[in-house]
Amino acid sequence: MRVWVLNGVNLGRLGTRQPEVYGATTYAQLVQRCTTRGAELGLEVECRQTDSEAELVGWLHQAADDAIPVVLNPAAWSHYSIAVADAVALRTADLVEVHLSNIHTREPFRHHSVVSAYATGVIAGLGVAGYDAALAYLAR
Ligand code: CA2
């Protein structure tokens, strides 16, 4: 089964700053981890990251057209992008929203995700292990 792991704005900088919040894993290491864990679960994992909201929306449309399950960290767009939320709502396969940090224990503006209402489920606060859990769910 194909699975896409889609990461939003600024997540390409993972591991370079704020390790106390987001961990020390770099984006390249996250890609390696998801690909390896996915293969162990029998999944063909493709990881993508973008700082362009329009590009993410395009990928979500493509995933919906092809019924591809998605692990999505919408990053800051989680909190205000109705465009990303609307694209997630079009999904035709499971989509698990993942946040590295526990957004509920952080600044109030991070407590709400406009995407979550349209996701199959949400994982927050488990660091990169949240991606493992999401992949395990999709492989079940
Ligand atoms: O906890 C998460 O995964 C977030 O989705 C990450 C976003 C943040 O805006 C959300 O509130 C929660 C931030 C991604 C920025 O990631 C960086 C990590 C390290 C260094 C620079 C950027």
Cβ of 14 less than 6 Å from ligand 1: yes
Cβ of 112 less than 6 Å from ligand 1: no
Domain of 55, CATH number, reads 3.40.50.9100
Q: How far is the CA of 63 from the centre of ligand 1 (A)?
A: 23
As given in the structure block, the two tokens for residue 122 are 């949400």
Give the per-residue pLDDT at 50.
98
* Alpha-carbon gap, residue 127 to 140, rounded angstroms: 21
Give ∠ CA 96-114-123 in degrees, rounded to 5.
Answer: 30
Atom index in ligand 1 nearest the CA of residue 102 equals 1
DSSP letter at 118 equals G
Q: Does a structural domain hold residue 73?
A: no
Q: Does a structural domain hold residue 71?
A: no
Q: How far is CA 126 from CA 27, 67, 103, 122, in A?
A: 16, 27, 11, 11
Cβ of 11 less than 6 Å from ligand 1: yes
State the total domains in the chain: 1
Which residue range(s) make up the domain with 94?
A: 2-25+36-66+83-105+114-139
Q: Does a structural domain hold residue 46?
A: yes
Cβ of 113 less than 6 Å from ligand 1: no
* Alpha-carbon gap, residue 64 to 109, rounded angstroms: 29
Q: pTM for the complete prediction? A: 0.98
As given in the structure block, the two tokens for residue 73 are 């960290």
Catalytic residue among 61, 99, 104, 111: 99
Q: Does a structural domain hold residue 13?
A: yes
Known active-site residue 22 = yes
C-beta of residue 69 within 8 angstroms of C-beta of residue 94: yes
pLDDT in tens, 64-107: 999 999 999 999 999 999 999 999 999 999 999 999 999 999 99
Q: Does a structural domain hold residue 9?
A: yes
Share of the chain above pLDDT 70, in %: 100
Q: Does a structural domain hold residue 129?
A: yes
Q: How far is the CA of 22 from the centre of ligand 1 (A)?
A: 7
